[in-house]
């Protein structure tokens, strides 16, 4: 068993034979990596699209909540002013709108007369709220029995040339009195 030592040419041939399969393996590995990349890119793009969509939905939800909150506050203010204006319009008769003195300042007094008595709807500021009280004319103010209309730290009103202007924290309401414009109600 005498083995002959390989010659340089034999060594080179063996190395080339070894390298050729490794080149094929390398090419297969590169193809496999390219295939994974080709599969991975659409998945990553889809994931980015889904995340962008979820982000847009979240931002839209926050914006919607802010708009609804603001709208609710504006509606509450409008409702309070509309209610005060409605009281005045409902009692818009000749000589029905007057001023009294409530527990914390002036009160808007709306009078109405039935067959025997005169009744007053009194609107005034009491303990941080505008309240409405319905009572027989001439009786003392009873703020404990009054109905709260709206929270407000201010309440004032002015009458000029047939226009009643009511001011409070929620804003200003102007009511044109029909009886001052020639109505007979």
Domain ranges, residue 146: 8-185
Are the C-beta atoms of 90 and 73 separated by less than 8 Å?
A: no
Q: What angle (nearest 5°) sits at the alpha carbon of residue 56, between those of residues 50 and 59?
A: 140
Are the C-beta atoms of 51 and 73 separated by less than 8 Å?
A: no
In a domain, 30, yes or no: yes
In a domain, 34, yes or no: yes
In a domain, 3, yes or no: no
In a domain, 2, yes or no: no
In a domain, 1, yes or no: no
In a domain, 156, yes or no: yes
In a domain, 42, yes or no: yes
* Other C-beta atoms lying within 10 Å of the C-beta of residue 55: 10
Q: What pLDDT tens digit does each residue of the chain (185 aa) get?
A: 556 666 677 777 777 666 655 566 666 666 767 777 777 888 889 999 999 999 999 999 999 999 998 888 777 767 778 888 888 888 777 778 888 888 888 999 988 888 888 888 899 999 989 999 998 888 999 988 898 888 889 888 888 888 888 888 888 888 888 765 444 44
In a domain, 91, yes or no: yes
Domain total in the chain: 1
């Amino acid at each position: 068993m005498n083995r002959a030592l390989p010659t340089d040419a034999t060594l080179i041939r063996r190395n080339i034979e070894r390298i050729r399969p490794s080149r094929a393996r390398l090419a297969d590995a590169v193809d496999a990596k390219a295939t994974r990349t080709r599969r991975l890119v659409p998945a990553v793009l889809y994931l980015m699209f889904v995340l962008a969509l979820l982000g847009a939905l979240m931002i839209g939800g926050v914006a919607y909540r802010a708009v609804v909150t603001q709208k609710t506050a504006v509606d509450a203010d409008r409702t309070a002013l509309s209610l005060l204006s409605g009281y005045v319009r409902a009692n818009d008769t000749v000589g029905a709108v007057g001023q009294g003195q409530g527990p914390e300042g002036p009160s808007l007094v709306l009078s109405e007369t039935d067959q025997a008595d005169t009744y007053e709807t009194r609107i005034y500021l009491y303990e941080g709220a505008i309240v409405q009280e319905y009572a027989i004319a001439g009786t003392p103010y009873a703020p404990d029995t009054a109905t709260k209309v709206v929270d407000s730290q201010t309440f004032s009103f002015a009458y000029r040339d047939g226009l009643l202007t009511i001011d409070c924290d929620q804003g200003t309401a102007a009511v044109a009195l029909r009886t001052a414009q020639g109505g007979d109600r």
